[in-house]
Structure 1
Amino acid sequence: MREILNSVFYVLLTNSLQSVFGNGSLNIALNKNATQVSTFNDNVSRFGPMNANNGNRNQVATNGDCTHTTDTDPVKWWTVDFGNMYTIESVHIYARKDCCLERHSDFEIRLHNTSDWSSQFSLCYKQIGQAPSELYVNCTDHLSGKYLTVYKKDDHHHYPLTLCEVEVYGNEVTGKTVNTNTLKPTTEITTITNQIRQMTTNTRNNYDIQPKGIA
């Protein structure tokens, strides 16, 4: 009976941890609806927003594999709609390599629950200065959202926003509304562990087994 209870405890704990952290194997941005503030020369097929989440990591913008906004917008942004709420684990951004590496600088990665990314959002990452051409970011505290925006404020350089591929890894949130400002994995694990301990104790008591070694 002790072996059975230990097995039950292990399965419940494993499933609970996966529900909090997930396996991060799904690129939830792939081929989802994407928009951006503007498109260079209005050439959507060559520089449009879908070039950043079509699964092509080619980093040569002149081949038509990257997005490209104009340089005159007060802010530059690119947004992808996941369709549902997801807990985000990591974001991978592939930038242009054939030219103008300094343009890939001073931007933010924002998560939000509505299409209005400017009023309410959670900050996943803030890049200060030039970023590497392949950027891998882990979102702190496993933030959640329905949308992700790469946001760049205009400055005296007037750099456009150019993204060759944006991959977002996470897991769908089901059965509850998530407050992106309060979800804390450590709190979730503590609650889950205490619940499992109580379940284990109750199960042992039902079989008249005295619990041993449970804090």
Structure 2
Amino acid sequence: MADNVKHDLWIYLLTLECLVSAVTAASENIALSKPVSSSHNDYGGVPERGNDGNDNPVFFSGNSCVYGKNTRTDPLPWWQINLQSQYCVEVVAVTNRADAFQWRLHNFTISVYTEDPSTTPTAVAKVCAVYPGTVGSGVREVLPCGSRVRGQYLRIHKNEMLHDDALQFCELEIYGTESSLDFDTSLSTGSFFSKNPALRLEGTPLSDHVGTPIQCGSLCGQIPRCFGFNFQAGLNSSKGHCELMSNPSSDPVHDPSWIWFDKRC
């Protein structure tokens, strides 16, 4: 039993590593040169350094790193980027400083918002990743989102502050896909689905339902294991038969009577 668990864990980690490598190798860094802001900056560590394409890990001579201390209004310093469009964020990579104070990049959270949390205090944070440890000196840490999250604003903030602490990093990259307007949207969950006519994902459904595509998308959006749904329209109604699916590694097959709705985020 123990050997089987170790084998499954090894397969999972290998698959995750391949996924991260594929996304970061094939995708465009959507963070590059987008508008940014921060709760505080000093010593020349302005927020624009965090996504200027310069990942030099030396703070002063490299002119490359962000610096932000805690303040009375922001006891946990943050850095934020406006992606200028809605994206399904999949992977974030952050590069740590290497010349001094490397330990400062520790215990932080990366969250995604559909509204600007700086101007809308009620904006809901959708967590991409929580990093409880300390990033190594000069290391580029690649963090896949635990679940694909959709939004326009991404924020990294510290979860705790130690003595002489600060939010410091030298580059933050974001990889994901734009939420196109032709995606079908589940209003109740904010999930986005791409519509693929004449295709059906094979396999055993998580569950079967009768309803409209929006209703099926709402159900799928509430289930983390649901990666999309097959929909077959009824003859005399907008409602039809939908199958919630959880086997994303399979490829949809041609089937003229079905539509495959792929959950993007």
Q: TM above 0.5, one fold?
A: yes
CA contact (8 A) 2:40 2:70 kept: no
What runs of 5+ residues in structure 2 fail to find an aligned partner?
1-22, 193-220, 233-241, 244-251, 259-265
Q: 2:224 and 2:253 mapped to 1: Cα distance?
A: 18
8 Å Cα contact 2:31/2:173 also seen in 1:
yes
8 Å CA contact 1:56–1:165 kept in 2: the answer is yes
Which moves more between the two structures, 119-128 or 86-95? 119-128
Name whichever structure is richer in strand by fraction: 2
| 1:59 CA displacement | 0.8
- Structure 2: distance between partners of 1:56 and 1:90: 19
Write the distance in 1 (CA, Å) between the matches of 2:224 and 2:162: 40
> Do residues 52 (structure 1) and 50 (structure 2) align?
yes
Offset of 1:161 from its aligned partner? Answer: 0.5
Give 1:107 shift. 0.5
1:144 aligned partner: 150
Aligned mates of 2:223, 2:33 — CA distance in 1: 29
Which residue does the alignment assign to 2:131?
A: 127
| Maintained 8 Å contact 2:70/2:76 | no
Identity %: 24
- SS of the aligned residue for 1:127 comes to strand
Instruction: State how far apart, in whole Å, the 2-side matches of 1:102 and 1:180 are.
Output: 37
Give the RMSD, CA atoms, in angstroms.
Answer: 3.1
Letter paired with 1:31: S
Name the counterpart of 1:9.
Answer: none
The 8 Å contact of residues 111 and 155 in structure 2, kept in 1 or not, is answered as: yes
Deviation string for 1:171-198 (max 9, x for gaps)? 1001255716937686344437979768
2:91 is matched with which residue? Answer: 90
Q: Which runs of 5+ in 1 are unaligned?
A: 1-21, 203-215
Q: Which one scores higher on RCO, CA 8 angstroms, separation ≥ 6?
A: 1
Mapping 1:22-101, distance limit 5 Å: 25-41=27-43, 46-63=44-61, 64-72=63-71, 73-101=74-102
4+ residue runs over 2 A deviation: 70-73, 153-158, 180-202
Aligned residues: 178
Cα pair distance change 1:97/1:62, threshold 3 Å? same
CA positional deviation for 1:140: 2.0
- Separation of aligned partners in 2, 1:169 and 1:134: 14
Which string of whole-angstrom CA distances, capped at 9 and with x for unpartnered residues, describes residues 22-51 of structure 1? 89601110000010011114xxxx311010
CA radius of gyration, larger in? 1
